């Protein structure tokens, strides 16, 4: 172990200071973090000015955080890290519904509604019937599954982004399946919208020649006793941002059809959620 710092052995000099009784997982994470951080600085030959710009960027990211705004998660989302951590921790067998990014706009405790009810309280947007089943890998219906849903409104904002403008719980609700595993509700056909881009992350995207848009989606969190939680969205097929989602949330299996239908409701989007038993890990 080298006691003094030099360029070549820089990571070893730092990691060599680790105390003897450090929690093994913490030691593993920090050793790798230092190794990769130093390798990164060497690979790009980081200049003093660039280091200062990086510190200033991270400072601004922290300074804009509040109870309502988590710019660091947005940074993780836009760097693809949130999707990577989700992928590492939610490997599922073929046929099971895939997870995607949770996002900042879920609210606990949305009203439990009856099957077929509408979640659109502002009467805006194109109505859409969402229906399908919650089933297991054998196609058997799951009784007592909670289907928690949320989406933006016709202008691309969640109710929590517009308190006092949108009704509370607009475009949100929970639905509990019966023994047939079926769910259905009426919402709007969601629209694509930009992630909050008035802070350092928005500026970063613009410097990188990236737009801040997410393709239109309906969020779902599906839970059932003894099954692994699904946190996902369904995406509107044909959306222009499907292949350039600002947070990399799109997976092919989550692109859903939206069919025009006759009658009072304009659209129908069928989608089944396939759950994996709790003990299944891969
Ligand atoms: C969302 O889909 O609500 C979302 C996800 C990640 C960042 C911002 C918004
Ligand atoms: Fe969203």
| Cα–Cα distance measured from residue 100 to residue 106, given in angstroms and rounded to the nearest whole number | 13
Ligand 1 in reach of 57 Cβ (< 6 A): no
* Closest C-alpha residue for ligand 1 atom 4: 103
pLDDT of 281: 59
Atom of ligand 1 nearest to the CA of 217: 2
Count other C-beta atoms under 10 Å from residue 181's C-beta: 22
> Residue 159, SS3?
helix
| Residue 198 pLDDT exceeds 60 | yes
Across 25-34, 54-63, 67-76, 142-151, least confident range:
67-76
Distance 196 CA to ligand 1 centre (A): 9
| Residue 282 pLDDT exceeds 60 | no
Nearest Cα neighbor of 110 from 171, 190, 182 is 171
Nearest Cα neighbor of 271 from 224, 239, 233, 245 is 233
| Residue 65 pLDDT exceeds 70 | yes
Residues 6+ apart with CB under 8 A from 172: 107, 110, 111, 119, 149, 150, 159
Q: Number of C-alpha atoms within 13 angstroms, CB side, residue 39? A: 7
| Residue 95 pLDDT exceeds 90 | yes
pLDDT of 75: 97
Ligand 1 in reach of 194 Cβ (< 6 A): no
| Residue 39 pLDDT exceeds 80 | yes
Instruction: Give this prediction's pTM.
Output: 0.94
Nearest Cα neighbor of 256 from 244, 268, 241, 245 is 268
Residues 6+ apart with CB under 8 A from 152: 158, 171, 190, 191, 193
Please give the share of the chain, as a percent, with pLDDT higher than 70. 98
Distance 183 CA to ligand 2 centre (A): 21
At 261, is the pLDDT very low, low, confident or very high (cuts 50, 70, 90)?
very high
pLDDT of 1: 64
pLDDT of 279: 82
Give residue-wise pLDDT tens across range 117-169.
999 999 899 999 999 999 999 999 999 999 999 999 999 999 999 999 999 99
> Residue 249, SS3?
coil
At 3, is the pLDDT very low, low, confident or very high (cuts 50, 70, 90)?
confident
Atom of ligand 1 nearest to the CA of 103: 5
pLDDT of 182: 98
Mean pLDDT of all residues in 73-81:
97
- By DSSP bridging, strand 217-223 and strand 213-214 are unpaired
Distance 156 CA to ligand 2 centre (A): 9
Atom of ligand 1 nearest to the CA of 152: 3
Distance 16 CA to ligand 2 centre (A): 44
Give residue-wise pLDDT tens across range 5-38.
999 999 999 999 999 999 999 999 999 999 999 9
pLDDT of 51: 98
Atom of ligand 1 nearest to the CA of 74: 7
Long-range own/partner contacts, residues 106-111 (CB < 8 A, 24 or more apart): 106/148, 106/150, 106/219, 106/221, 107/150, 107/160, 107/172, 110/148, 110/150, 110/169, 110/172, 110/173, 110/174, 111/169, 111/172, 111/173, 111/174
pLDDT of 232: 98
Mean pLDDT of all residues in 250-277:
97
Ligand 1 in reach of 104 Cβ (< 6 A): yes
- By CB atoms closer than 10 A (0-12, 13-18, 19+), residue 237 is middle
Q: Write out the residues surrounding ion ligand 2, Cβ under 5 A.
A: 103
């Amino acid at each position: 172990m080298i006691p003094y710092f030099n360029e070549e052995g820089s990571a070893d000099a730092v990691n060599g200071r680790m105390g003897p009784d450090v929690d093994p997982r913490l030691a593993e994470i920090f050793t790798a973090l230092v190794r990769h951080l130093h390798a990164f600085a060497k690979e790009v030959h980081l200049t003093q000015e660039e280091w200062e710009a990086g510190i200033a960027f991270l400072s601004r990211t922290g300074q804009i955080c509040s109870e309502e705004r988590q710019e660091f998660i947005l940074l993780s989302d836009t760097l693809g890290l949130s999707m990577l951590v989700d992928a590492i921790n939610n490997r599922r067998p073929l046929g099971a519904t895939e997870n995607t990014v949770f996002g900042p706009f879920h609210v606990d405790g949305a009203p439990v509604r009856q099957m077929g009810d509408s979640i659109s309280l502002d009467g805006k947007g194109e109505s859409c019937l969402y229906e399908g089943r919650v089933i297991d890998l054998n196609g058997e219906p799951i009784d007592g599954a909670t289907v928690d849903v949320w989406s933006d409104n016709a202008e691309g904002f969640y109710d929590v982004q517009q308190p006092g403008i949108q009704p509370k719980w607009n475009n949100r609700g929970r639905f509990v399946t019966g023994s047939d595993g079926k769910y259905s509700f009426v919402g709007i056909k969601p629209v694509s919208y930009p992630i909050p881009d008035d802070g350092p992350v928005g500026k970063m995207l613009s410097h990188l020649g990236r737009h801040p848009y997410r393709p239109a989606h309906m969020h779902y969190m599906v839970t059932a006793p003894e099954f692994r939680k699904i946190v996902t969205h369904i995406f509107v097929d044909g959306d222009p941002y499907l292949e350039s989602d600002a947070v990399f949330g799109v997976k092919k299996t989550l692109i859903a059809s939206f069919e025009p239908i006759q009658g009072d409701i304009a659209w129908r989007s069928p989608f089944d959620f396939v759950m994996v038993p709790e003990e299944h890990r891969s």
